Amino acid sequence: MATTDLTELDLNGSYTYADYLTWQFTDAVELIKGKIMAMSPAPNSEHQGISWRLGGALFVFFKQKQCQAYAAPFDVRLYDRKKSIVANRDIYSVVQPDLCVICDKTKIDTKGCLGSPDWVIEILSKGNSKKEMQIKYQLYQESGVKEYWLVYPGERAVHQFFLDEQSEKYQLLNMYSGEDIATPQLFPDCQIDLREVFEMDEMDE
């Protein structure tokens, strides 16, 4: 039976992807380790502009390549990579990264992605608290996302993390400024000019 109002749920309860499939809320939510996390209201124009320009760069680079790029809203179902998944009830985390790149096409199905993307990009906005981003950082790390970029629009900066195979912990590789060319560790031929990504909108001119 579908649940249409968030108030019908116990926000202190624990839920699975099977529960998530029955939710039909107006507002978007994510599920992180069984806990409901309401997403921020519709992103502002700055956030969307950055997402659109980054997404455009990814589209151009990955066109006709094995790996594929996806933009939110796009469900990514994450689970403990040390355990096997047999049913929707075994999945406790469903997130919607701003952008992600997936190279293993067997992870893609009609509902989104089952398993960790290779590269995830999250864009900080006023609705995203640093605490929320820390929770996602830990989740992506535990789930085996190899590369994670955190974009700071206000500071015009990108922090690039890469998963160390031995420690299974993220290492901070680079802190790019808005004047730099950013290069993903996984795809060294991909050159992203952050001057273009962070360019000011000309709406007010």
> Contact at 8 Å (CB) between 77 and 94?
yes
Cα-Cα-Cα-Cα dihedral sign, residues 72, 77, 80, 83 = negative
Q: Which pair of tokens denotes residue 45?
A: 């124009």
Supply the DSSP symbol for 199: P
Average pLDDT, the chain: 88
d(CA 201, CA 185): 29
Residue 8 pLDDT:
83
d(CA 86, CA 58): 32
Structure tokens, 165? 């195979």
Name all contacts of 161-169 with Cβ < 8 Å and 24+ positions apart.
161/137, 168/141, 168/144, 169/141
What is 44-197's CATH topology?
tt1808, chain A (3.90.1570)
The reported pLDDT for the residue numbered 131 is 65
Taking the model in full, what pTM does it have? 0.88
Q: pLDDT tens digit string along 142-163?
A: 999 999 999 999 999 999 999 9
pLDDT at 201 (0 to 100): 45
Task: Kindly state the tokens that stand for 133.
Answer: 């981003």
Domain ranges for the chain, please list them.
44-197
Q: Which residues of the chain have pLDDT under 70?
A: 1, 40-43, 81-87, 89, 127-131, 200-205
